[in-house]
Structure 1
Amino acid sequence: MKLHWSPRSPFVRKVSIVLEECGMMDQVERLHSVAVFAAPPNPEILTDNPLGKIPVLITDDGQTLFDSRVICEYLIGLSGHTDLLPTEPTSRIKHLRWQALADGLTDILLLWRTERGRGAHADPVILNAFETKTRAALAVLENESAELKQTNFGLGHIATVCALGQLEFRYGDCGWKAALPGLAAWYATVSTRPSVAVTAIVDDGEGPAGSVDASPSFTYRTTG
């Protein structure tokens, strides 16, 4: 199999954690592919994904699979590691819900950074909306941090750790850990898991000329 991959993509990391958990990393050839939202699509990625996004998995039988949710389900089914996405309905929905929340948060963090990169042309309404949604999503995860800890590790946890990894990578000085102690404690523990530690985000510095790498201004303050 082949995987369009970048060391700084949170969604690629999600697939990489699944590969590590399933013991399948050595079965995949990684193709270093740069994908930037606010730039012309990478033609090498477009060949396998008309959306121009990564990750993309090219299976041994020639299928091209995207996005990370589809790829992860495929890999879990192929490997038989159903512990990562249980078949029992209640447990499965729990993980799928966490995945939806975490993937949505990751999308917001990526789009928020892109909008901030527009400088004086950034829309303040959009910026405020992204911040409000980020705070709301993190508040839910804080409220459910005990349940995250008590539930067997699976796809919901993987998506959540990737969202928080993106928050730490691009918004590291925002102060979320002090404001959300339950979530921060869970994140510290899960970050020591081998599959999580070995897939930590790395900024390889690749991207189009003029891309914005400065962290957006965001300070996490609790209210009340």
Structure 2
Amino acid sequence: MLGDGIGRKVFKGLDLENGNSVAIKQVSLENIAEKDLDMVMCEIDGALVNLRYVENGSLANMIKPRNFGPLPEPLVASYVAQVLEGLVYLHEQGVVHRDIKGANILTTKEGLVKLADFGVAHKLTEGDITTHSVVGTPYWMAPEVIEMSGVCAASDIWSVGCTVIELLTGVPPYYKLQPMPALFKIVQDDNPPIPNDLSPGVTDFLSHCFRKDARLRPGAKTLLSHTWIQSFRRVFG
């Protein structure tokens, strides 16, 4: 049974057989172009099977001024560690999320986070390490995606760095610019601007995420062992 809307074409749902709360996304297949069917099926296969309703909403909603605002570093490290664990699994399966950002990270009452919205995710075929299409959200987008030189697992790592800044400051890098100028700056600059008031640990973590050459960016598993993540994982378990 459908309930209230909780997002764009996403509704609370009640399983009438067992009382479980779930999230239901409404996908219209009317007049859909054949080229878009693969994307729809990818989302169904990757995200909508047994999708649970995550009651606390997204991290993007959590950091809005009317709610809690920017989050402290220990909590952000705890959330990012869980995101990286999710990416380790996805990347090992050959899946690139392609739209990591606060709005696509949902949180439970217990402080667990889950990656959501796999609508633009891409599964790399055997022997294929990149895909040449511009998808994602501008302020979180890696330079190789913008230049169409090929999105890869490392493109998600760049977006993780942008998400860290988003959660710590309330806004992603280049947020004062319109999308097109922001995309130009992402490609032109050596790295996105890193706020001066961050700790040395998170600053070093971001410097790894923002290596311009995607081949030099560490993978999710490597970043899980970074001292900034490890120091706060001990606090939060």
Q: TM-score, normalised by structure 2?
A: 0.29
Of Structure 1 and Structure 2, the greater strand share is in 2
Bigger relative contact order, structure 1 or 2 (CA pairs below 8 A, ≥6 apart): 1
Of Structure 1 and Structure 2, the greater helix share is in 1
